[in-house]
Amino acid sequence: MIDGVTADPFSMNTFPLPQSELSGEIKQKIRAQSRQRYSMDREKLQQLLKVRSEKKFTAAEKIAEQAQAEAKASAGD
């Protein structure tokens, strides 16, 4: 409806996504830096998930546990 009057349907197309201007080397560096900052070993993650699934945390404990896990992950690298 347009201004309360029934109108014929229309189809719509979106613009194509722009192509990245970054070189392959820069993309690889970005990926490597992201993995370095935000990833952790699978074993460490599984251990953390196991601990969290078996324990009930208060809000303060959740914050402390997250900080401790991040510190361990940083120290392990």
| pLDDT per position as a tens digit, 6-19 | 888 877 888 998 88
Q: Tokens 């990833």 — which residue?
A: 39
pLDDT of residue 42: 93
Global model pTM greater than 0.75: no
| Mean local confidence (pLDDT), 39-56 | 89
Query: What percent of the chain is modeled with pLDDT above 90?
Result: 27
Cβ atoms of 53 and 20 within 8 Å: the answer is no
pLDDT of residue 76: 67
What is the pLDDT of the chain when averaged over all its residues? 86
Residue 73 confidence (pLDDT) above 90? no
Residues 22-41, buried b or exposed e (16+ Cβ, 10 A)?
A: eeeeeeeeeeeeeeeeeebe
